[in-house]
Amino acid sequence: MAIDLKKTDVVIVGLGAVGGVAALPLVRAGLDVIGLEAGTWLSPRDFAPDELRNNFRGWPQSAQKANGEIPTHRPNASSPYSPRLPIHPMMNAVGGTSLHYWAQSWRLNPWDFKVVSEATRRYGAARIPKGSTVEDWPFGLEELEPYYDKVEYEVGISGQAGNVNGVIDKRGNIFEGPRGRDYPMPALAGSEFTERMGAAARKLGWHPFPGPAAVNSQYYDNRPGCLYHGFCNRGGCHIHAKNSTAVSTIPKALATGRFTVVTQAIVTSVAVDEGSGRVRGVVYLKGGEEYVQPADVVLLAGYTYENVRLLLLSKSKPFANGLANNGGQVGRHYITHHTGATLAALFPFDLNNWYGLPAQGVAVDNWADDNFDHSGLDFIGGGNLWVYSDRRPIGAASMSTFGEAPTWGSNWKAFIKENADRWNLAYLQKTTLPYEDNVLDLDPSMKDSLGFPVIRITADNKDNEKRLGAFIQDKMAQWFMEAGAIAVERGPMGTMGPSTHAYGGTRMGDNRETNVVDRYGFAHEVPNLGILGASVMGTSGAHNPTLTAQALAWRTAEHLTKNWKAIAN
C-alpha cells in the first residue's frame, strides 16, 4: 500500500542543474517546496583526482539508478540498434550532473531563438532543410536575458562580457546579444597554450575570447576560487569552486526553511486527477516503500530522457498515451548537440596541457550560428570553436598516432613518449536542427531494474549537419595550423546516441499542435504541470545548454510565483 504524505505547494522531480535552480525563487516567494532526488548528497571527499575512476569507470553514475536506464539507440526506424552505452552520460545526486560537468555556462546567441525567421529573411525559406520541424522560439533573447543574469549571479559564473547594453567589448564575445551587466566574476585565467591559440585566431582576423564557466575565478559566495588542478572533466570539485546547484542555489533554498530535500526517491509516475485532468502529485519509491506526495503543482526537472520517460510512463484515463501527450508531441523534436566530426592536432612542441580544466579555454564564435554569410554555402547554422587545457595520463597515452607510428611496441612507445603532451582535440559544438524522424519513445523490450521500459532514441545526423560538420572541421584545422600544428586528423561524423547535450521531447512553443509546453514551461494540456530542462528547448545553438536550461527554469518558477492562484487553483 502506498503511503500518502501531506500535501505541499510544489514538488520538484530531480534536483540537478535545473531543479536545484528552480527551488530558489519558489521558496523565496513563500511557497513550500519538496524536492525528490534519486541520488544522495555527495561531499568533497567523493571527488578524488582519479582519471580511471572518473573517466573510464564512470563513477558515480555507473553505480546508480541512472545506469539502469541508459537509452537504446538506432539511427533510423529500420536500422539495427547501436551497441548500448555501458555508462549513462548523466549522474544522480543532489546537484545532479552539475557536480561533474565541464561547467561551461553559455548564453545562446540571438539567432538561436529565431532560426526559421532569420534564415528565411536572409536566405529564403528553401534553406530550411527538408524534414526539419524547427520553429522560432516563442520569444527572443531579450525575454530570457534577465533570467540569464539572475542565474549568473546566484550560481556564480566567471566570464568576459562582449556586449553590455549594446556596447561591444572586444575582450569578450562580440557576437553575443546585449547583456544588462558584466559577469559577477572575471574569466578564468588562460594558460600559455590557450593564449597562444588566441593570438593565432587574431592573426586570422577572428575574435577569440575566454569562455564563461560556472567555476569561481576568485572567492565568491563564501567559496574559494579555482586551483586549476584538473580532474574537472567528469569529476566534482573537492573545494567547491565549481558551482553546482548542490553548493549554490540548493543551500540558499534550504536556508529559508521552506525547502525539503528527499534523497534516494525514485519517482515512478505523475498522478492525475481523472475528473479534472490536472496533476495531483507524484508517486515515488524509497527504501522499499511506495509514497504518494500530493502537490498543487508538479515540476519535472529530470534530464531530457527522464522527463520524456516519466510523461510516457504516466498513463491515465485522460492521458492514455502518456501525460500531456494527447497531441502526440512528447518525444518529438529531439536533438543532441552535434559533436561528432572532431578535430585533433599534433604540435612539434610540448603544450603542457597536464593541468587546468575543460572550462579554461579560448573560444571563437566567428563561425557559430549565423555569424557569417551562408549565401554560397549548402547548410545553415554554425559551430563554436573551443580549445582548452585538460589532459590526464591514460587519455594522453591513448592518443592518435596521426598515421606516424604503429599502435604498439617500441616505435609506438617512442612516439607517445615524445608526443603525449603535444596534441589537442577540439570537439566542436555545432547547431543541430530537429527533424520529423529524430524522436524519443519507450523501448519495446529494454527495461530498467524496476521493470519500466527505457527510452529509445531514433536519431541520426542529417545532410545539413554533416555539411556543417565538415565546414567547421576546416575552420578548426586552419586555427590549429596557424598556431603551429604540424598535422591534423578529422574524427568521424558519428551518429546521435545518448548524449550529455540532449534537447527536445517536451518542446516549448505557443502552438499546442506542435509543442508540449507553453511559453512559460507549463504543459498545454495540463495547466499545473511545469517542465524544466533542455527538453523544452527547440534549438541547440552552438554552445553548452546548461545555463539556458537554468535561466528557463528560473523563469518558469518565477511565472508560477506570480500566477500562483491561476496555476495552482
Of residues 210 through 229, those in contact with another protein by CB under 8 A are 227-229
Shortest Å, Cβ 333 to another protein: 19
Q: Which three cell numbers stand for residue 425?
A: 582535440
Report in angstroms how near the CB of residue 516 gets to another protein at its nearest.
24
d(CA 238, CA 44): 4
Q: Count Cβ neighbours within 10 Å for each residue of 276-293 and write b for 16 or more, e otherwise.
A: ebbbbbbbbbbeeeebbb
Q: Which is nearer to another protein, 400 or 514 (CB)?
A: 400
Cβ of residue 216: shortest distance to another protein, in angstroms? 14
- Centroid of chain to Cα 363: 18
Site for another protein in 368-397 (CB under 8 A): 389, 392-397
Shortest Å, Cβ 502 to another protein: 9
Q: To the nearest 10°, the Cα dihedral for 173, 175, 181, 183?
A: -30
Minimum CB distance to another protein, residue 499 (Å): 5
Angstrom distance (rounded) from CA 16 to CA 545? 14
Q: In the complex with another protein, which residue's Cβ is closer, 153 or 228? A: 228
Which residue matches cell numbers 545518448?
Answer: 498
Measured distance CA(282)–CA(310) in Å, rounded: 10
Q: Is residue 550 involved in binding another protein (CB under 8 A)? A: no
Pairing of strands 487-490, 208-210: unpaired
d(CA 559, CA 281): 20
Does residue 8 bind another protein (CB under 8 A)? no
Q: CB–CB of 162/174 below 8 Å? A: yes
Q: Using the rule CB under 8 A, is 257 a contact of another protein?
A: no
Asked if residue 279 lies in contact with residue 270, where contact means CB atoms within 8 angstroms, the answer is: yes
Nearest approach, Cβ of 98 to another protein (angstroms)? Answer: 10
Of 142 and 404, the one with the shorter C-beta distance to another protein is: 404
The least CB distance from residue 503 to another protein, in Å, is 13
Q: Of these, 7, 171, 196, 374, which contacts another protein (CB under 8 A)?
A: 196
Q: Is 264 in the site for another protein (CB under 8 A)?
A: no
416 lines the binding site for another protein (CB under 8 A): yes
Site for another protein in 78-117 (CB under 8 A): 82-83, 85-87, 89, 101-104
- Minimum distance, C-beta of residue 474 to another protein, in the bound complex (Å): 17
**Residues binding another protein: what is the number (CB under 8 A)?**
93
Q: Does 57 bind another protein (CB under 8 A)?
A: yes
Report whether 166 contacts 178 (CB < 8 A): yes
Q: Which is nearer to another protein, 308 or 359 (CB)?
A: 359
Q: Does 192 bind another protein (CB under 8 A)?
A: yes
Among positions 245, 314, 366, 429, the unique one binding another protein when judged by CB under 8 A: 429
Sheet with strand 487-490: strands edge to edge: 423-426, 343-346, 487-490
Whole-number minimum distance, CB 3 to another protein, in Å? Answer: 27
How far from chain centre, in Å, is Cα 66?
16
- Closest to 107 in 3D by CA, of 535, 431, 548: 548
CB of 162 to another protein, least distance (A): 21
Q: Which of 279, 363, 425, 477 binds another protein (CB under 8 A)?
A: 425
Q: Is 413 one of the binding residues for another protein (CB under 8 A)? A: yes
Minimum CB separation from another protein for residue 399, in Å?
6
* Alpha-carbon gap, residue 184 to 182, rounded angstroms: 6
Task: Name residues contacting another protein, limited to 459-518 (CB under 8 A).
Answer: 489-492, 494-495, 497-501
Nearer to another protein, 129 or 340 (CB): 340
Q: Which three cell numbers mark 568? A: 495552482
Among 133, 158, 245, 339, binds another protein (CB under 8 A): 339
Burial class from Cβ neighbours inside 10 Å (0-12, 13-18, 19+) for residue 56 reads middle
Q: Which of residues 16-45 bind another protein (CB under 8 A)?
A: 44-45
For another protein, the closer of residues 25 and 211 by Cβ is: 211
Binding positions for another protein, 273-302, rule CB under 8 A: none
Cα–Cα distance, 315 to 321 (Å, whole number): 6
Question: In sequence order, what DSSP letters do the residues of 167-223 get, joined into one string?
Answer: EE-TTS-TTSPPBSS--SBPPPPPPHHHHHHHHHHHHTT--EEEPPBSB-SS-BTTB
**Is position 355 an interface residue for another protein (rule: CB under 8 A)?**
yes
Other Cβ atoms closer than 10 A to 167: 9
The site map against another protein for 515-544 (x = CB under 8 A) is: -----------------------------x
Is the CB of 38 or the CB of 516 nearer to another protein? 38
Piece in contact with another protein (CB under 8 A), picked from 198-206, 248-256, 292-300, 405-413: 405-413
The set of residues, in sequence order, having a beta carbon less than 8 Å from that of 291 and lying 6+ positions away, is: 2, 3, 4, 5, 265, 283, 284, 285
Asked whether position 322 contacts another protein by CB under 8 A, the answer is no
CA-nearest of 152, 220, 228, 157 to 189 is 228
